């Protein structure tokens, strides 16, 4: 039995609609995964994510949770699900991207990365083995291998060296991951032979428990394909990663400063070459347009901090493009953020009121706009899935992009 069950239910060109069953929820793909860096999606209560927004899977951040409160604290308290009370699926990143973003505060060797905490300056160390141990303590449904993340403008030779390091680290990650699974270190393990209440899940028709004969109740492990904008290196990295073998495959090292055309070229080249029978995950991307274009090229899973980060600074995503609620033009605007959005924020609050909250420094402004942005992203993915199933993705894509008129 595998830790996840993945099935494609419809295709339209390179686009794929599927069902990803984990031990805690059933995820319809293509899917956008809200980012919960510190064990929380910033400014948005889990009740809203579950009940109104119906998010089936969110992210947790290995680097940040390692530093604070510490993975041993979370392990002691029963894993990230019990600690945070999020009872649906979790994907945890490896911590690699955050560590490599520290630049001057880190030292890279074959063994791993020594770095100074951005919180208190203390010396810390991350390696494939340490990352796997942290993610076992967190108990996520999907674990990411520890990878080397070169800058987006890295040259050919530096990128080649980096992706080969990532492949070696991926093999070490898998070896340690398997050892931890055998030793029962996974704090989120679910014995699917028992009833729903035996592992702390709430009965919820939106969060179906998968057929226990098909999945194991263990964690899944995804590999990461690197290679920057070099297509031949992307293919080389994919071959090395497939040789090791994973439950799913991620595309890393994009949306890190390169031109959009480079990202789309890489996706168009790489995604169709990735295993057909496994989920494809584009890490850290992106705008609504990026999601549309990623799906068009065969990507199944996305995550990005953009909806909540923009929400905290007054940026709202709408079906007509992104708006900045701080602008004076909205001071007397009685309309909702998006007339086409069914979320509770758009049903109740005007642009003028939201601008007043923001200009007054009220924390509610960030909460409401973040809520709307997540609703917009999740509803967009729902509409994309419907279009794929109906065989009308290109018509949907053309119509959606034609409406955008960013400020």
- Helix (H) / strand (E) element for 130: namely helix 128-138
Residue 280: domain span: 5-303
282 and 322 in a single domain? The answer is no
Report residue 67 as tokens.
């530093």
End-of-domain residue from the set 303, 320, 346 = 303
pLDDT confidence tier of residue 97, bands split at 50, 70 and 90? confident
List, for residues 288-315, the tens digit of each pLDDT value: 999 999 999 999 999 999 999 999 999 9
Q: Phi and psi of 191, rounded to 5°? A: -85, 100
325 and 285 in a single domain? The answer is no
Tell me which DSSP letter residue 160 carries.
H
Residues annotated as catalytic are 93, 303
Q: What angle do CA 279, 90, 375 make, to 5 degrees?
A: 85
Query: Residue 40: how many CA atoms within 13 Å on its side-chain side?
Result: 11
297 and 319 in a single domain? The answer is no
Looking at residue 213, what is its pLDDT? 55
Average pLDDT value for residue range 400-404? 94
Looking at residue 153, what is its pLDDT? 74
Share of the chain above pLDDT 90, in %: 85
Average pLDDT value for residue range 163-181? 98
295 and 322 in a single domain? The answer is no
Q: Which of 269, 248, 270, 267 is nearest to 258 (CA)?
A: 267
101 and 137 in a single domain? The answer is yes
Average pLDDT value for residue range 136-142? 98
* Model confidence at 190: pLDDT above 50: yes
* Model confidence at 87: pLDDT above 70: yes
Alpha-carbon gap, residue 10 to 8, rounded angstroms:
6
CATH number at residue 164: 3.20.20.105
Q: Of the given ranges (38-47, 94-103, 281-290, 354-363), which has the lowest mean pLDDT? A: 94-103
List, for residues 201-247, the tens digit of each pLDDT value: 333 434 445 555 589 999 999 999 999 999 999 999 999 999 999 99
238 and 164 in a single domain? The answer is yes
End-of-domain residue from the set 303, 326, 357 = 303
Residue 249 to residues 100, 144, 316, Cα–Cα distance (Å): 21, 9, 31
End-of-domain residue from the set 303, 334, 360 = 303
* Model confidence at 263: pLDDT above 80: yes
List, for residues 369-390, the tens digit of each pLDDT value: 999 999 999 999 999 999 999 9
| Three-state DSSP class for residue 144 | strand
List, for residues 30-80, the tens digit of each pLDDT value: 999 999 999 999 999 999 999 999 999 999 999 999 999 999 999 999 999
* Model confidence at 196: pLDDT above 80: no
294 and 325 in a single domain? The answer is no
Alpha-carbon gap, residue 378 to 153, rounded angstroms:
32
166 and 295 in a single domain? The answer is yes
Number of domains in the chain: 2
279 and 185 in a single domain? The answer is yes
255 and 318 in a single domain? The answer is no
Average pLDDT, the chain: 92
Give pTM, 2 decimals: 0.94
276 and 345 in a single domain? The answer is no
52 and 19 in a single domain? The answer is yes
pLDDT confidence tier of residue 255, bands split at 50, 70 and 90? confident
End-to-end CA distance of the chain: 50
């Amino acid at each position: 039995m595998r830790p996840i069950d993945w099935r494609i239910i419809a295709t339209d060109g390179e686009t794929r609609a599927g069902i990803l069953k984990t031990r805690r929820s059933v995820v319809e793909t293509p899917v956008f995964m809200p980012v919960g860096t510190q064990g929380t999606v910033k400014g948005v209560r889990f009740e809203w994510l579950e009940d109104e927004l119906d998010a089936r899977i969110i992210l947790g951040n290995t680097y940040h949770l390692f530093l604070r409160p510490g993975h041993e604290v979370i392990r002691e308290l029963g894993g990230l699900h019990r600690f945070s009370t999020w009872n649906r699926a979790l994907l945890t990143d490896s911590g690699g991207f955050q560590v490599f973003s520290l630049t001057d505060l880190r030292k890279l060797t074959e063994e791993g990365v020594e770095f100074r905490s951005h919180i208190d300056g203390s010396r810390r160390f991350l390696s494939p083995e340490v990352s796997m141990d942290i993610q076992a303590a967190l108990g996520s449904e999907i674990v990411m291998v520890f990878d080397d993340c070169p800058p987006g403008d890295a040259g050919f030779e530096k990128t080649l060296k980096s992706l080969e390091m990532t492949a070696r680290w991926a093999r070490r990650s898998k070896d340690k991951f398997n050892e931890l699974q055998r030793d029962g270190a996974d704090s989120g393990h679910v014995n699917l032979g028992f009833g729903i209440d035996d592992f702390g899940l709430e009965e919820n028709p939106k969060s179906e428990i998968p057929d226990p004969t098909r999945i194991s109740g263990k964690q899944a492990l995804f590999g990461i394909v690197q290679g920057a904008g070099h297509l031949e290196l992307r293919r080389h990295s994919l071959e090395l990663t497939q040789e090791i073998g994973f439950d799913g495959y991620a595309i890393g090292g994009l949306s890190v400063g390169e031109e959009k055309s480079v990202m789309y070229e890489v996706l168009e080249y790489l995604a169709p070459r990735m295993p057909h029978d496994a989920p494809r995950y584009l890490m850290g991307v992106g705008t609504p347009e990026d999601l549309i274009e990623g799906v068009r090229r065969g990507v199944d899973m996305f995550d990005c901090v953009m909806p909540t980060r923009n929400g905290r600074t007054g940026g709202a995503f709408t079906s007509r493009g992104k708006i900045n609620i701080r602008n004076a033009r909205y001071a007397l605007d009685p309309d909702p953020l998006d007339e086409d959005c069914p979320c509770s924020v758009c049903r109740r609050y005007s642009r003028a009121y939201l601008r007043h909250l923001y200009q007054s420094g009220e924390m509610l402004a960030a909460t409401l706009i973040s809520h709307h942005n997540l609703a917009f992203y999740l509803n967009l993915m729902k509409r994309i899935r419907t279009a794929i199933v109906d065989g009308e993705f290109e018509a949907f894509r053309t119509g959606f992009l034609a409406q955008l008129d960013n400020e």
